C-alpha cells in the first residue's frame, strides 16, 4: 500500500480551496498569519503542545508551547501598539535565531504591521539600504548588533524605535532605544488581533538583482494558503513530527517554512542557533529526535565533507523525510544521503518572489537525483524560449523557468518599485530568472541563472551591489564582480580590481578589501578571491564586460567579443 498519493492524484482536480477549507478560511473573511499560527492551534486543542524547541550556543535550551507563543505574540503586539506602531508600518527583525525573533514575527503580524526580516550578519551598508527603502519605523534587535544600527541611525529619519530584546543597562541606551525583555513582560491574555484580509501586506523580504539596489518583495496574509499546503504535502509534516528547518528567517525559507508553514499546521519545530558543525547538527537531530529535516545543499555538502564515519556515531534513525532548497542539489548529495541516512533528500525549487515551493520532488515520487522534480499542483510551469517567450516543447531543451501568475503566495509587488515588478512578466508568464530543461517525464533539470546574480550557499548576491561597495574603498579604481566555482557553496564571489595610482597589489590589500566588503555588506558578499588587473575587459563604449571574466572563471566559451575594447 503506497504511503503517499501519486503525483497524478495530487494534481487531478486540484484547487487551493483545499487549503482554505482546512484552515477554515472563507474568501473575504479575516485572515491573519499570526493568529493562524498560534491562537487557532490553541483553539484546536493543542495549546499545551510544544511549538518550539530552541537550543543556543553553550547548551542553552528553551521550549515554548503553542499557548506560550500565542501569549508572546500578544505581549509583543501590545508593546508595539503602545509605541504607536500601526497597521502597515514596517518593523524589522534584525536578530540571530533566538526565540524572540520567531515570537516577534507573530506579534508584528497580529497588529497588522509588516515584518521585515533581515539577516543578522548584514553589514551596516546592507542594513541601511533595506531600512531606507522600506522606510522602516522600528527595528527589533540584540545588543550584539546594536553598533551596526547605531552607525546608520542618523541617516534614517523614519526609524523611530530601536528595540533591544536582551539585557542592556539603561544608562547605555541612546535616544529612541528601548529595552523589551519578553521574559520580564506581563503576558497578555486578551488581545484584539488586527482584522487583516487576504491582500493585507504581511512580510517584506529583500532580494538582490543584477542591477540596482535590493528589492523588497511584498507578500500578503493570503500567502499562508500556499505555505500551509506545500508544508503538508511536500515536507510531509504530520501531527507527531519534530521538524527542523535549518534556514535563517532573514531569508524567505526561514519564514515561509521556518515559521508560517509548520506553525499553521500546528507542528512542533526546533531551532539550533549556533555556528555550523557537522557534529553539532547530528547531535541536535539525535537529541530532539528530528523526523523531518529541511536543509540546503551547501550544508549537505559540508556534512558530506565531514565524512561517513561521523554519521555512524549518532542515532539518526528518527529521520523520516528529508528535503533541500536554495540552490540545485547535486545528484551525488542525493545518493550520499540515501546511503548514510537511509533517506534521500528531496530537492525543492522556489524563490523569495514565489513565497512557497513551486517545483519539487514529492514524497513517494520517484526521485531522479539532480532533478528539481515537478510543479506543485495548481502551479502552471513552463520553460520558455528566451527569444519568443513561448513554452519549449522539446524535452531537455534549455529555456527560462516561468510560471503562470495567480498562486496564493506570489509576491504582490516590489516595494516602491512597480516598474521592476512589471519587468518580471512577459506574455502572461512570471519569469523566475533561472534556466532549466524539462525531460520527457516532466521533471525539471536546473541549468543556472539567466542573469549575473550570484547564488552562493543558497543566497543571492548582487554583483552590482558588491562592485558599488568596492568603489568606496580608497584603493579601488574599477571593479567587476562575478562568481567562481566552489565545491561547498556551488559558487562564491570573486572580484576583479584595478587600483588607483599609488596603491600596490598584494596579499595584505586583498585581505583588507575582503574585510571591507564583509563588514559593509555581509560575509556572503565578501569576495573569497580578489584578482588585481591592469585593466578590465570593456566594450568600446566603456561598459565592463563581466561575462568575459565569468566565462574565464568557469572555463566556458567567451562568446561574442566583437564589441571588446581592445580586440
Partner 1 sequence: MEENNLNEMKELVLKYVISEYIDDDDVTITYETPLISSGYVDSFSMVSLLVFLENKFNIKIPPSKATPEAFDSVNNIVALVNQYLNQ
- 520 with 472: CB under 8 angstroms? yes
Strand partners, 268: 242
Q: DSSP state, 544?
A: B
491 binds partner 1 (CB under 8 A): no
In angstroms, what is the minimal distance from the CB of 148 to partner 1? Answer: 7
380 or 515: whose CB is closer to partner 1?
515
In angstroms, what is the minimal distance from the CB of 101 to partner 1? Answer: 14
Phi (first) and psi of residue 146, to 5 degrees? -65, -35
Q: DSSP state, 107?
A: H
**Which of 198-210 are b and which e, b meaning 16 or more Cβ less than 10 Å from the residue's Cβ?**
bebbbbbbbbbbb
10 or 524: whose CB is closer to partner 1?
524
Helices (H), 397-436: 418-423
The three cell numbers of residue 564 are 571588446
306 or 505: whose CB is closer to partner 1?
306
**Nearest one of 467, 464, 494, 479 to 535, comparing CA atoms:** 479
43 or 515: whose CB is closer to partner 1?
515
Per-residue binder mask for partner 1 (CB under 8 A), 300-329, x = binder: --x--xx-----------------------
Q: Are strands 413-414 and 215-220 parallel, antiparallel or unpaired?
A: antiparallel
In angstroms, what is the minimal distance from the CB of 256 to partner 1? Answer: 23
Q: Name the 3-class secondary structure at 182.
A: helix
Question: Near partner 1 by CB under 8 A, which window of 273-281, 283-291, 318-326, 409-417?
Answer: 273-281
**Nearest one of 285, 203, 239 to 51, comparing CA atoms:** 239
In angstroms, what is the minimal distance from the CB of 32 to partner 1? Answer: 33
In angstroms, what is the minimal distance from the CB of 127 to partner 1? Answer: 13
Q: What gap in Å lies between CA 55 and CA 61, rounded to an integer?
A: 5
Binding to partner 1 in span 173-192, by CB under 8 A: none
- 436 with 398: CB under 8 angstroms? yes
45 or 506: whose CB is closer to partner 1?
506
In angstroms, what is the minimal distance from the CB of 152 to partner 1? Answer: 14
In angstroms, what is the minimal distance from the CB of 330 to partner 1? Answer: 18
**Nearest one of 532, 449, 452 to 493, comparing CA atoms:** 452
Helices (H), 409-474: 418-423, 463-470
The number of helices, as runs of H, and strands, as runs of E, in the chain is 19, 27
Per-residue binder mask for partner 1 (CB under 8 A), 505-534, x = binder: --xx-xx--xx--x----xx-x-x------
Neighbours of 86 (CB within 10 A): 13
Binding to partner 1 in span 11-70, by CB under 8 A: 57-58
274 binds partner 1 (CB under 8 A): yes
Place of cell 508593546: 79
Out of 22, 132, 273, 286, the only residue in the binding site for partner 1 (CB under 8 A) is: 273
**Nearest one of 338, 320, 334 to 373, comparing CA atoms:** 334
150 binds partner 1 (CB under 8 A): no
Handedness of CA 209, 249, 369, 556 (dihedral sign): positive
**Nearest one of 381, 347, 342, 339 to 363, comparing CA atoms:** 347
- 233 with 244: CB under 8 angstroms? no
Q: What gap in Å lies between CA 91 and CA 501, rounded to an integer?
A: 45
143 or 404: whose CB is closer to partner 1?
143
In angstroms, what is the minimal distance from the CB of 392 to partner 1? Answer: 36
Question: Near partner 1 by CB under 8 A, which window of 275-283, 353-361, 477-485, 543-551?
Answer: 275-283
Out of 82, 147, 440, 504, the only residue in the binding site for partner 1 (CB under 8 A) is: 147
Radius of gyration of the chain (CA): 24
Binding to partner 1 in span 443-462, by CB under 8 A: 456-457
**Size, binding site for partner 1 by CB under 8 A:** 33
144 binds partner 1 (CB under 8 A): yes
The three cell numbers of residue 451 are 542573469
Q: DSSP state, 507?
A: H
Out of 39, 96, 125, 491, the only residue in the binding site for partner 1 (CB under 8 A) is: 96
273 or 452: whose CB is closer to partner 1?
273
Question: Near partner 1 by CB under 8 A, which window of 82-90, 276-284, 338-346, 424-432?
Answer: 276-284
366 binds partner 1 (CB under 8 A): no
Q: Say which residues have a Cβ less than 8 Å from residue 279's Cβ, sequence separation at least 6.
A: 306, 310
Question: Near partner 1 by CB under 8 A, which window of 85-93, 139-147, 177-185, 464-472?
Answer: 139-147
Question: Near partner 1 by CB under 8 A, which window of 145-153, 334-342, 379-387, 540-548?
Answer: 145-153
- Give the DSSP per-residue string, 495-541: EEEEEPTT---SHHHHHHHHHHHHHHT-TTTS-SEEEE-SS--BBTT
26 or 277: whose CB is closer to partner 1?
277
Out of 276, 423, 442, 472, the only residue in the binding site for partner 1 (CB under 8 A) is: 276
In angstroms, what is the minimal distance from the CB of 517 to partner 1? Answer: 10
433 binds partner 1 (CB under 8 A): no
| Site of interaction with partner 1 (CB under 8 A) | 57-58, 96, 121, 143-145, 147-148, 273-280, 302, 305-306, 456-457, 507-508, 510-511, 514-515, 518, 523-524, 526, 528
Amino acid at each position: 500500500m503506497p504511503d503517499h498519493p501519486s503525483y497524478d492524484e495530487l494534481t487531478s482536480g486540484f484547487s487551493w480551496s483545499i487549503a482554505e477549507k482546512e484552515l477554515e478560511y472563507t474568501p473575504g473573511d479575516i485572515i491573519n498569519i499570526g493568529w493562524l499560527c498560534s491562537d487557532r492551534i490553541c483553539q484546536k486543542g493543542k495549546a499545551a503542545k510544544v511549538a518550539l524547541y530552541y537550543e543556543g550556543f553553550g547548551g542553552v535550551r528553551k521550549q515554548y508551547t503553542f499557548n506560550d507563543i500565542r501569549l508572546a505574540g500578544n505581549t509583543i503586539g501590545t508593546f508595539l501598539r503602545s509605541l504607536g506602531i500601526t497597521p502597515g508600518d514596517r518593523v524589522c527583525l534584525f536578530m540571530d535565531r533566538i526565540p524572540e525573533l520567531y515570537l516577534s514575527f507573530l506579534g508584528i503580524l497580529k497588529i497588522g504591521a509588516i515584518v521585515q526580516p533581515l539577516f543578522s550578519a548584514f553589514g551596516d551598508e546592507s542594513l541601511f539600504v533595506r531600512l531606507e527603502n522600506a522606510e522602516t519605523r522600528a527595528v527589533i534587535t540584540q545588543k550584539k548588533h546594536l553598533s551596526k544600527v547605531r552607525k546608520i541611525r542618523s541617516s534614517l529619519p523614519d526609524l523611530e524605535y530601536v528595540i533591544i530584546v536582551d539585557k542592556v543597562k539603561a544608562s547605555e541606551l541612546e535616544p529612541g532605544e528601548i529595552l523589551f525583555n519578553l521574559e520580564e513582560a506581563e503576558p497578555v491574555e486578551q488581545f484584539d488581533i488586527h482584522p487583516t484580509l487576504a491582500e493585507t501586506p504581511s512580510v517584506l523580504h529583500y532580494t538582490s538583482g543584477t542591477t540596482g539596489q535590493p528589492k523588497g518583495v511584498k507578500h500578503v496574509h493570503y500567502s499562508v494558503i500556499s505555505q500551509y499546503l506545500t508544508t503538508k504535502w511536500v515536507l510531509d509534516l504530520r501531527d507527531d513530527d519534530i521538524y527542523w528547518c535549518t534556514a535563517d528567517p532573514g531569508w524567505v525559507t526561514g519564514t515561509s517554512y521556518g515559521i508560517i508553514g509548520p506553525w499553521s499546521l500546528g507542528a512542533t519545530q526546533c531551532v539550533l542557533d549556533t555556528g555550523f558543525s557537522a557534529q553539532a547538527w547530528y547531535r541536535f537531530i539525535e537529541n530532539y529526535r528530528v523526523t523531518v529535516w529541511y536543509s540546503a545543499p551547501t550544508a549537505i555538502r559540508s556534512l558530506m565533507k565531514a565524512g561517513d564515519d561521523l554519521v555512524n556515531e549518532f542515532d539518526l534513525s528518527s529521520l523520516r523525510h528529508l528535503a533541500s532548497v536554495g540552490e540545485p542539489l547535486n545528484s551525488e548529495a542525493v545518493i550520499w544521503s540515501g546511503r548514510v541516512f537511509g533517506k534521500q533528500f528531496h530537492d525543492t525549487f522556489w524563490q523569495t518572489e514565489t513565497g512557497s515551493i513551486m517545483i519539487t520532488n514529492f514524497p513517494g515520487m520517484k526521485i531522479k537525483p539532480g532533478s528539481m522534480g515537478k510543479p506543485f499542483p495548481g502551479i502552471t510551469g513552463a520553460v520558455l524560449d528566451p527569444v519568443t517567450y513561448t513554452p519549449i516543447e522539446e524535452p531537455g531543451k534549455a529555456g527560462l523557468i516561468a510560471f503562470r501568475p495567480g498562486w496564493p503566495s506570489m509576491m504582490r509587488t516590489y516595494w516602491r518599485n512597480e516598474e521592476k515588478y512589471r519587468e518580471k512578466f512577459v506574455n502572461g508568464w512570471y519569469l523566475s530568472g533561472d534556466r532549466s530543461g524539462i525531460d520527457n517525464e516532466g521533471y525539471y533539470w536546473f541549468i543556472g541563472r539567466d542573469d549575473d546574480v550570484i547564488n552562493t550557499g543558497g543566497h543571492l548576491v548582487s554583483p552590482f551591489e558588491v562592485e558599488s561597495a568596492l568603489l568606496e574603498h580608497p584603493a579601488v579604481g574599477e571593479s567587476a564582480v562575478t562568481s567562481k566555482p566552489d565545491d561547498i557553496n556551488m559558487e562564491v564571489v570573486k572580484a576583479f580590481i584595478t587600483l588607483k595610482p599609488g596603491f600596490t597589489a598584494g596579499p595584505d590589500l586583498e585581505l583588507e578589501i575582503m574585510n571591507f566588503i564583509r563588514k559593509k555588506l555581509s560575509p556572503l558578499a565578501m569576495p573569497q578571491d580578489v584578482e588585481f588587473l591592469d585593466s578590465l575587459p570593456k566594450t568600446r563604449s566603456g561598459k565592463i564586460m563581466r561575462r568575459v571574466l565569468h566565462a574565464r572563471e568557469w572555463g566556458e566559451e567567451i562568446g561574442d567579443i566583437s564589441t571588446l575594447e581592445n580586440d
